[in-house]
Amino acid sequence: MMTRPFGPTGREIATIGQGSWYIEQGDKRAAVAALRRGLDLGLSHIDTAEMYGDGRSEAIVGEAIAGRRNETFLVSKVLPHNASKTGTRAACERSLRHLKTDRLDCYLLHWRGPHPLAETFAAFEGLKAEGKILSWGVSNFDVDDLDEALAAAGPGAIACNQVLYHLRERAIEHAVIPWCERNGVAVTAYSPFGHDDFPSPGSAAGRVLGEIAASHGATARQVALAFLTRRATVFAIPKAAGMAHVEDNAGALHLALTEGELARIDTACPRGPKPRSLPML
């Protein structure tokens, strides 16, 4: 199974995890079962946020990890408008109640907002000192934001940057991933299959994915996940709301692509020019 250190935390984490955006909109029992099946298969990194369903996603995750907390690398996020020094603490404590746990393995600022980064980071450090979070990071940060965050926090403090990354949106390869590699920060790819725009089997890109998948006895989505996590700092958190999808996602943990296959995907799904601002959902 493919694992690697999660940034400066030193924790060995599977390259593929489980996302929970919108899982509260489906069948709760199915979502809980899928998340638990993911844990069975080694998908220990479970990501959620206070924004997702106003805490309902966190509650579902909490039910899924009941009795299995020590198996789970648990991540949640604070909304920017809550990220003052006192607001961050209050938001974290709400998330812990929803999740029915005493700690988060990593706590993220969901995106830049009105509060100074130094204030948010001071709150993170206070929560870390109390053991309520074990590490912290950011989400949707471009290089300028990361430079400012590093200046505010100092080296070795930022565990991760969670960003949009899929085959049709590879903007972070231009500068964000290299920055994180230089500074020892993990990159977590959210929405790694895109937002209803995964290459169709009949498209040119879809045919390449299909041919590579067939040669490995794999699926096109497993090939996509293996491509996205090919670099040593990158993790991916596809949504985990159904048993079949979770089992398919887990198959990517055992898939290694050749340099030739990586080059074929790179050509079929080009990263394009660097955008003026970082894409996000």
Annotated active-site residue 52? The verdict is: yes
Phi and psi, residue 104, nearest 5°: -110, 140
> Alpha-carbon distance 110 to 126, whole Å?
18
CB atoms within 10 A of CB 215: 12
> Alpha-carbon distance 243 to 168, whole Å?
25
Provide the phi-psi class of 156: left if phi over 0, else alpha when psi is between -120 and 50, else beta: left
Selected catalytic residue, list 52, 107, 165, 190: 52
Catalytic residues: 52
